[in-house]
């Protein structure tokens, strides 16, 4: 049984034993973990939703091609960045892959340090995007806990409306506004409106659907 991939690393997918070994050794000299795959089929079989890292993918593989692997990854909505290893004759294919969302391509023969530097750069960008995505998902989950009234109160407050004005706008008492505002800030894990304003647009708050209406 194939062990699922989970740890962030560089996945080297190449059907040439010598190239796989050379690349694995090259990355080890820069303290970069790798996992090698002799075919696109083997890599795809081991893929899980938790798989992370960067894929260094030979564009011409035995079995399914690197481009077919890339297409299947797109169909799976995988977010792992893909860097193609290409020969000179593959440049048009590689350029087209870039247009389809590949991170980059590196032409053989390549400079060892340049290749590792580029892969590390892609990995850093990937990890940053993953962190941003996790933060956005956490924010969305907190927004989903707000009632519709809490969204309205916070949205108006973020637009600069005073509690008295919000009460008049929503035809509720100032005390009710204060309660909704305090409860909403607590749910959003924000200590103040200023802190919340750094990550939430008032239009986003008021246009959403809360979990309740009171």
180-194 residue pLDDT tens: 999 999 999 888 888
Residues 131 and 157 in one domain: no
Question: What confidence score (pLDDT) does residue 2 get?
Answer: 46
Residues 131 and 152 in one domain: no
CA gap 198, 210 in Å, rounded:
21
- Strand, helix or coil for residue 57: strand
Domain boundary among 102, 136, 170: 136
2 within some domain:
no
Residues 76 and 44 in one domain: yes
Helix H or strand E encompassing 183: helix 174-187
Domain boundary among 118, 136, 154: 136
Question: What confidence score (pLDDT) does residue 185 get?
Answer: 92
Domain boundary among 136, 170, 193: 136
Question: What confidence score (pLDDT) does residue 52 get?
Answer: 85
Q: How confident is the model at residue 213 (pLDDT cuts 50, 70, 90)?
A: very low
User: CA–CA distance from 175 to each of 74, 172, 210 (Å)?
Assistant: 51, 8, 21
Q: What is the pTM of this model?
A: 0.66
More confident of the two residues 91 and 64: 64
Mean of pLDDT over the chain? 87
């Amino acid at each position: 049984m194939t062990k699922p991939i989970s740890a962030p690393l560089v996945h080297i997918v190449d059907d040439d034993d010598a190239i796989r070994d050379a690349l694995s050794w090259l990355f080890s000299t820069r303290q970069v973990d790798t996992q090698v795959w002799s075919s696109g089929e083997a890599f795809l079989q081991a893929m899980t939703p938790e798989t992370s890292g960067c894929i260094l993918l030979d564009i011409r593989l035995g079995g399914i091609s690197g481009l077919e692997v890339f297409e299947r990854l797109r169909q799976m909505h995988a977010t792992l960045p893909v860097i193609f290893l290409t020969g000179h004759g593959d440049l048009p294919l590689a350029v087209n892959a870039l247009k389809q969302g590949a991170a980059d391509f590196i032409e053989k023969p390549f400079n060892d340090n340049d290749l590792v530097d580029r892969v590390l750069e892609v990995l850093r960008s990937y990890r940053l995007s993953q962190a941003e995505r996790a933060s956005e998902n956490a924010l969305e989950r907190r927004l989903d806990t707000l009632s519709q009234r809490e969204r309205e109160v916070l949205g108006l407050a973020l637009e600069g409306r005073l509690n008295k004005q919000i009460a008049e706008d929503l035809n509720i008492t100032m005390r009710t506004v204060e309660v909704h505002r305090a409860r909403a800030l607590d749910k959003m894990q924000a200590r103040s409106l200023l802190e919340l304003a750094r990550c939430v647009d008032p239009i986003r708050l008021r246009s959403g659907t809360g979990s309740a209406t009171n």
